[in-house]
Amino acid sequence: MTHEKGMSTRREVLGDAHVDAAVTGTTEFTADFQDFITRYAWGEIWSRPGLDRRTRSVVTLTALVALGHHHELAMHVRAALRNGLTTDEIKEVFLQCAVYCGVPAANRAFAIAQEVLAEE
């Protein structure tokens, strides 16, 4: 049940195209990891009632900027838009990150988000 719920949440947040690509790219080597993130991240954490998805997106964007996980930032900027954040709210998150995570980290986040927003 958690896998089905996780897959549903994952699709709602990240979109079918992203999830379909991840599923298609799954190999014997990565299958257990894909199952893990679907069950745990999406079925357990993103599905909890304690925070709404907008707030979870703010937390996720901040964590990705703080930890320098730029490879996932574009995906989560798209998710944040899908979860109802406006471009101005995303900008405010990155401005806040500039103070607490560092200007270089926020600078890179703005550049990545700019590319995503140009595509959208």
Structural domain harbouring 25: 2-45
If one counts the domains in the chain, the total is: 2
Are 59 and 93 found together in one domain?
Answer: yes
% of the chain beyond a pLDDT of 90: 95
Are 65 and 112 found together in one domain?
Answer: yes
The closest of 87, 83, 84 to 116, measured between CA atoms, is 87
Are 62 and 105 found together in one domain?
Answer: yes
Are 62 and 28 found together in one domain?
Answer: no
pTM for this entry: 0.92
The whole-angstrom separation of Cα 107 and Cα 68 is: 11
Are 32 and 85 found together in one domain?
Answer: no
Q: Tens of pLDDT along 44-59?
A: 999 999 999 999 999 9
Are 22 and 79 found together in one domain?
Answer: no
